[in-house]
Structure 1
Amino acid sequence: MEKLREILKENFQKDKRNKITFLTGAGLSAASGIPTYRSTDGIWVKGTKFHRPEEFGTFRYFSKNQEEVWQFNLFRKGMFEKAQPNNSHKLLVDIEQLIPEDFSIITQNIDGLHHRAGNSGTKIFEIHGNMRLVRCSLECSKAVYLYPKDITLDRIYEEIPEETWEKLECPKCGGLLRPNILWFDEYYNERLYKVDTTMKIAKNTGILIVIGTSGATTLPLRLIEQTLQYGGYILDVNLEDNNITRLTKDKKRALSYRMTSDEFLSEFHKALEACNVSL
């Protein structure tokens, strides 16, 4: 970890102090009991009962199969609510406390565990949405609403009660609500997914630590490219090589760490403490 300490000292030179940003994916929440998306036991590898994920996880499919999609999402919401932040989430809270002005989390995760662990809400940017909010599927307005209470399902194909359907009606137009998440056939935007904000963060990031994501979606890869373009470091923390590995191959300011998120974040926290003491 000597190279890590050198990078931190370089980042915190008084004349060029830059942000430290964590780009997190589903692998970070695996220890909380939430399946990842593309690992061997992942949600999108197994798919749903009848469909490939790239078909099922779309607004197009939702518009024709609303009950099936809501069954899946209400079951998954129940899974998220039962899960607890793991040690990696807690270490990120500790790291934020050391560098509150220079810290950001950009997350692909919709489980809300960064918030529940205790990271500041103003420092978390959820680029794929979250399961705390819903919005009108008919887009009668730009409003988002808190998820109705007590509407999770214990089983993925459990029948949705009538009273739950009533809670899923848009309060403005009476249309069906939808999860406030990004589906495969939709696009990143600033209003819902903070694309412009996170690209600006990446531009001003001296060290971008990528943890628990294979880099299979476009915005994370753009964020990595942005950080590299403006002279920042990329630290790829994953158990296996992935799309990020290929993107950063032969880049002098990119390093790979093939270890668990707990192991890396623990070492990073220690290195950061030592760096702050010595500056």
Structure 2
Amino acid sequence: MKEQLNEIIRQVYNKKNRNLFTFLTGAGISAESGIPTYRGIDGIWIKGTKFHKPEEFGTFKYFKENPEEVWQYSLFRKKMFENAQTNESHHEIVEIENLLQDRFHLITQNIDNLHRRSGIKTIYEIHGNNREIKCSNGCKGIENLPDEIEGKDIDEDLTEKDIELLKCKECGSWMRPNILWFDEYYDEKTNKKFSSLKIAKNSGILFIVGTSGATNLPMAIAESTLRYGGTIVDINTEDNLFTELVKDKKNKIIVRETSTQALKTIREILQTIIAE
């Protein structure tokens, strides 16, 4: 595996066209930081005594009917994210960005802010993020969640001040988290849809790290890289939908190691090539 990686990284590094190194990350990369993966056995959303499947709870429809409940859960996750620490995988990716400079791009499905906290500069958050809010009625742009609103325990209610701050100043509707819900479509403004597809097209290598490919845009990103001759490197601990996508392709490398192990190898290969 290391020889394969060394060969393709060297090829792409020396190419003039379609020579970007792109990393696509998902919940698996934050698992070491103690954040539950989205679709694993711990991926069921629990709120009080109610049990929800993400596909039911994580929708704009559910938010419109139960805004306070959704905000309580969002602020519970805010506290979880803030208490989590960046891990070795996050730090390895920062080192790789420092080596590659403007040839590096990170596309992440994670909303937890850990990549930004680790020091990444070039990042596309295609599922939105937990830092920002927007009017649920669509009348305002994206803005930061007010600093006065703090993370909460799972059974902690919103305060009157929270509710006041979470209402749109123009129309009075509830503000909502700036994230992609299951009944919504990717766009450029919130999800960087077209930017990320353009990056994928120009990527000599797409490293897929800690994600199974269960949503549309990540799969389209991988398909675009393949279509234009790039190589997919599937870094996951088990087979997934990306594995199925590339099973008959020549331009692929399957890596069944932890993200930290694989990223360390990639970083060491790059250091060697750049030092030559």
Interval containing the TM-score (normalised by the shorter chain): over 0.9
1:52-67 mapped onto 2 (5 Å cutoff): 52-67=53-68
| TM-score between both structures, scaled by the size of structure 1 | 0.94
Ranges in structure 2 where 5+ consecutive residues have no aligned partner: none
Q: In the alignment, residue 39 of structure 1 is paired with which amino acid?
A: G
Q: Deviations over 1:258-278 (max 9, x none)?
A: 111110010110011111123
**Would the aligned equivalents of 2:236 and 2:256 in 1 still touch at CA under 8 Å?**
yes
> How far apart, CA to CA, are the structure 1 residues paired with 2:53 and 2:85?
29
Alpha-carbon RMSD across the aligned residues, in angstroms, is 1.3
Secondary structure at 1:166 match in 2: helix
> Alpha-carbon deviation of 1:47?
5.7
Indicate the larger mover: 165-174 or 260-269: 165-174
Q: In the alignment, residue 58 of structure 1 is paired with which amino acid?
A: T
Label 1:264 to 1:134 Cα distance change in 2 as closer, same or farther (>3 A): same
1:107-118 mapped onto 2 (5 Å cutoff): 107-118=108-119
> How far apart, CA to CA, are the structure 2 residues paired with 1:51 and 1:39?
14
Identity across matched positions, percent: 52
Secondary structure at 1:88 match in 2: helix
1:170-249 mapped onto 2 (5 Å cutoff): 170-249=168-247
Label 1:271 to 1:32 Cα distance change in 2 as closer, same or farther (>3 A): same
> How far apart, CA to CA, are the structure 1 residues paired with 2:167 and 2:153?
22
Q: Which residue of 1 aligns with 2:132?
A: 133
**Would the aligned equivalents of 2:234 and 2:255 in 1 still touch at CA under 8 Å?**
yes
> Which of residues 153, 156, 167 is equivalent to 1:155?
153
> How far apart, CA to CA, are the structure 1 residues paired with 2:18 and 2:267?
18
Secondary structure at 1:2 match in 2: helix
Q: Deviations over 1:123-148 (max 9, x none)?
A: 1000000011100011113x111101
Q: Which residue of 2 aligns with 1:34?
A: 35
> How far apart, CA to CA, are the structure 2 residues paired with 1:164 and 1:139?
20
Ranges in structure 1 where 5+ consecutive residues have no aligned partner: none
> How far apart, CA to CA, are the structure 1 residues paired with 2:156 and 2:108?
30
Indicate the larger mover: 46-55 or 28-37: 46-55
Which stretches of structure 1, 4 residues or longer, exceed 6 Å deviation after superposition? none
Q: Which residue of 2 aligns with 1:168?
A: 166
| TM-score between both structures, scaled by the size of structure 2 | 0.95
Secondary structure at 1:209 match in 2: strand
Secondary structure at 2:146 match in 1: coil
Secondary structure at 1:174 match in 2: coil
> How far apart, CA to CA, are the structure 2 residues paired with 1:198 and 1:218?
13
**Would the aligned equivalents of 2:18 and 2:203 in 1 still touch at CA under 8 Å?**
no
Indicate the larger mover: 155-164 or 242-251: 155-164
> Alpha-carbon deviation of 1:51?
2.4
**Would the aligned equivalents of 2:12 and 2:19 in 1 still touch at CA under 8 Å?**
yes
Secondary structure at 1:101 match in 2: helix
**Would the aligned equivalents of 2:17 and 2:202 in 1 still touch at CA under 8 Å?**
no
Secondary structure at 1:100 match in 2: helix
**Would the aligned equivalents of 1:213 and 1:238 in 2 still touch at CA under 8 Å?**
yes
**Would the aligned equivalents of 1:106 and 1:126 in 2 still touch at CA under 8 Å?**
yes
> How far apart, CA to CA, are the structure 1 residues paired with 2:125 and 2:270?
25
Secondary structure at 1:50 match in 2: strand
